[in-house]
Structure 1
Amino acid sequence: MPPLSMPSIPQSAEPAASRHAAPVAKNRRGLETRERVLAVTRGLISAHGYAEVTLDQISAEAGVAKSSLLWHFGSKEMLLAEAATSLFRQIGEELGAEPHHGRTAARRLENSFDRVADYLTANPEAKGVVLALLFSGSVPASVREEIRRGWDSHVQDLVAALSAPGRPLPAPMARLMIATIHGCYCHWYASDRSEPIAAFLAPARELFADWLRSRDR
């Protein structure tokens, strides 16, 4: 009897895990590259001011071709908008990751103001970039829409972080908090910035914290 021969396995019949590993790894690398580009852009904005940042600078420092930057972000303005709003997205993600157990809404609010102060101290032009793009008549509508989505996301993050059981934070109050932070930032940036921004945010922080404490009594 001739020996049994094992059927040959086509090279394409790889295990499912192997077939899916390459796209997953590629997607992860793409996300890492995107975050690196945003981080480089934020650094250049802080060092030179948003008006002086060029795609050539970002391309050189991030190690990403200029054509790739345009393919992924569409324009310099959109890249700048995403770089600036990504800071506040990170704040929202960190707030959402915090355990609510054992912390009152007022205490979580105070912590959120601390984080905003830290981020703006480290990246003083970030919010200025957003405001400048928002009010520039030459900026495409798509960039303003990206900023609007970012602000809507900030509102949702605050509502989620500061709501108490049975006492959801009203969205208009979250919008008021964000508007107040914008105003404090503008006042701080227009000054000589010799005082820390936390000093400009402190009255608003106490005002909203007192409101939350009175609501939760």
Structure 2
Amino acid sequence: SLGNAHFLNFFFRQQSPLNWEWHAAVPKDDISNPLATDTTLTEVGDGALTFTTGGALFDEQINTPITIQWQNGAAVSTVDPDFGTNINSEGSVTGLDGTTDFGGESAVVDQTQNGFGAGVLINMGVNPNGDIEGVFSNGGSRVLGRVAMASFANDGGLRRLGGGIFMETTDSGQSLVGGPDTGGRGVITSAALEKSNVDLATQFVNMIQIQRGYQANTRTIRTTDQMLVDLISLIQ
């Protein structure tokens, strides 16, 4: 799935004071089987709603189940509209928890998200358990992989090759590869130096702030010293 948004429109037509028809339609360009007579929308389902004189939902009916075949090979969507709990067949006491028939202005908002739009990778991080998590521009995140760790029976037997690289030897024993924090292996601290337990990026920022503060203080002392020299010169 490409994560593209789809729109399902509902229309209501009054048949009598207490009876309404409902029709569900989608843009015809979004589906693979529109009718030749369709202009902008294709109807994909219809039914009826019956209300009490008090505006409560008494009964509901689905004449044509909503099944939508989208364009570009997307999965078929089967939609079961929920207009609320009706009094007749679902045993609602009030019939007021969903669609109602009141003579006044109203606004209906129903937002449901079951996916994400297309996005690009904007950031990555490594969790203590070794999961490489990617953050995408559409607000989603996903585990892209996992960092493996190796343990040895004798760490001191490894051969140092330089640049933080070590090689397995007969003295070190065979490597035992697995996930972090398993089998006696340690956890991963992202953005930290070897054998360090702090965030390297954060510490660099703190160091720069301290340096700037120190520079400002030294200039203050220098200015104060110059003012004292000028004062002594005036007295002389």
- Bigger strand share: 2
Q: Which has the higher helix share?
A: 1
* TM-score clears 0.5: no
Higher normalized contact order (CA 8 Å, seq sep 6+, divided by chain length): 1
Q: What is the TM-score with the length of structure 2 in the denominator?
A: 0.24
Larger radius of gyration: 2
